[in-house]
Amino acid sequence: MMKRARAIFVLPVLALVLASAGAVQAQQRERVQFRFNWIINGQHAPFFLAQEKGYWLEEGLDVKINEGKGTQISLNVVANGVEQFSIADLATSAKAIVQGMPVKAIFAYNQLSPMAIISQPEANIRSPRDLVGKTIASSAASSNRQIFPALLKAHNVDIDKIRLVTVDGGAEPAILRAKKADAVLLYFFDYGPILESQGVKHSILKYSDWGVNLLGTGIITHPRTLAERPDFVRRFLRPIQRGFQQAIRNPEEAVDAQLKLWERARAKEVEQKILLNSLSMLSTPNSKSLPIGGMAKKDWEATQDLLRQYGGLPKTLPVEQYYTNEPLSPIMAP
């Protein structure tokens, strides 16, 4: 009788011990603030997959994802030490670094430029030379607009033979739907699937397919964090590398994680197409042998040259001041 009573007593005590151990473990995990670059879409699915699978928890990190409000906010929160990591446009980050902002790129996942000319099929724009005589709409502040002259120059196209129309930022899709221009300058990886889901027929001409490429989107942190806490940075990036590796193997699983953890999203098939487009830009011929997220010096040099000529970069720096691959683990792309 006594033995049975003792066994009954041990069970709740054991449960209490296990619960306490779990609580202590949770308390020991370091809280990390991670800001995205923009409104969440399929490009962010690998990060949600890393969170859903507990990869960060395995590294002792409790990561809070914050939705983005543009690259300038992403730069500011890291430079001011408000948040430890953020996603940012790397060309914009380079300009900020030249101006003295303390940030550095540590991971890039859109290494082929998302810049594109999205056109009406009947406009027959299959190469930059086909732009002659066409009407192209773009917002004045668009990065696509800034680099557009480089694409024309690379293929000996006279910009004066193109009608370039300035529209409000965000109005480009409506312009294309209404057929008020032959083409618009937009990012292809998200606007392509969105327009397709709306029944808008279109063709896409990517800058990168025609020899003009800027590094696109990546993760930045403060140089002080890199110098003082290199292991912390590695523990943050390893789960992201694993998330991307798994997303390549199973993109549907990645999008399911995104939709589960972030309800405000488009239809699953649209988000999955956005993810697949984003994954197609994960590396360049120069960086394909590097670990996932690793950046090539040649790509940074080409990016800086384009920004110097067309993007308003006031001066050049040794490109190592823009980025480092040091914290990346040797998880090779599948």
Query: Mean per-residue pLDDT for 209-217?
Result: 96
Tell me what pLDDT residue 252 has: 97
- Say whether pLDDT at 329 is over 90: no
Mean of all residue pLDDT scores within the chain: 91
Local confidence band at 330 (pLDDT 50, 70, 90 cut-offs): confident
Closest alpha carbon to 164 in 174, 172, 173, 156: 172
Local confidence band at 166 (pLDDT 50, 70, 90 cut-offs): very high
Separation of alpha carbons 176 and 317, rounded Å: 39
Tell me what pLDDT residue 41 has: 93
Total H helices, total E strands in the chain? 13, 10
**Which of 74-83, 197-206, 265-274 shows the lowest per-residue confidence on average (mean pLDDT)?**
265-274
8 A C-beta contact, residue 284 and residue 213: yes
Local confidence band at 169 (pLDDT 50, 70, 90 cut-offs): confident
Q: pLDDT tens, 254-294?
A: 999 999 988 766 799 999 999 999 999 999 999 999 999 99
DSSP 8-state assignment for residue 326: T
Query: Mean per-residue pLDDT for 208-212?
Result: 96
Q: Which residue has the higher pLDDT, 8 or 210?
A: 210
Tell me what pLDDT residue 38 has: 85
Q: Which residue type occupies 188?
A: F
Q: Which residue type occupies 274?
A: I
Q: Which residue type occupies 243?
A: G
Separation of alpha carbons 176 and 199, rounded Å: 12
Q: pLDDT tens, 113-138?
A: 999 999 999 999 999 999 999 999 99
Query: Mean per-residue pLDDT for 187-216?
Result: 96
Tell me what pLDDT residue 19 has: 43
Separation of alpha carbons 203 and 209, rounded Å: 14
Query: Mean per-residue pLDDT for 89-95?
Result: 95
Its pTM surpasses 0.95: no
Other Cβ atoms closer than 10 A to 210: 14
CA distances from 223 to 78, 219, 226, 236 (A): 10, 13, 5, 15
Q: pLDDT tens, 56-77?
A: 999 999 999 999 888 999 999 9
Separation of alpha carbons 62 and 134, rounded Å: 51
Query: Mean per-residue pLDDT for 27-41?
Result: 91
- Say whether pLDDT at 157 is over 50: yes
